[in-house]
Amino acid sequence: MIVTKTCSKCGNCKIIEEFKIPGRICKYCVNKNLREWRAVNKDKQRIYYKRYQPRIKKWRKENKEYTKINNKKYYERKKKEEQVAYILMNLKNYNY
Ligand SMILES: [Zn+2]
């Protein structure tokens, strides 16, 4: 059975697999939005990375073997990061 959904952004009807994050926007629009958001929020992103870099570095150091072995988990984490970016992107009153 093919389940389809209509993207609220581009208005195209797409199969459920095309929806990266459970929501109303297809993955193509999400990627497009992310790219645009990143371009607009370059400075904000830099601040974000600066703020979380020690934590990220620490995590990477502690989980070096873990990430190496668990590539899938690493991928999931990356996916989660993308989801976080997506959520941040959609927050209307977003302040650092
Ligand atoms: Zn779309």
Res. 65: pLDDT tops 60: yes
Ligand 1 centre distance from Cα of residue 76 (Å) = 22
User: Percent of the chain scored above 70 by pLDDT?
Assistant: 78
Share of the chain above pLDDT 90, in %: 0
Range(s) of the domain holding residue 14: 4-93
Give residue 11's pLDDT band: very low, low, confident or very high (50, 70, 90). confident
- Segment 20-42 shows an average pLDDT of 82
CA of 35 to the centre of ligand 1 (A): 14
Number of domains in the chain: 1
How many Å lie between the centroid of ligand 1 and the Cα of residue 59?
Answer: 34
Separation between Cα atoms, residue 49 and residue 96, nearest integer Å: 12
Provide the residue type at 60 as one letter: R
CA-nearest of 22, 26, 1 to 13 is 26
Can you give the pLDDT at residue 70? Answer: 66
Query: How far does the centroid of ligand 1 lie from the alpha carbon of residue 69, in Å?
Result: 35
Which position has the higher pLDDT, 66 or 14? 14
Say which residues have a Cβ less than 8 Å from residue 20's Cβ, sequence separation at least 6.
Answer: 26, 27, 30, 31, 82
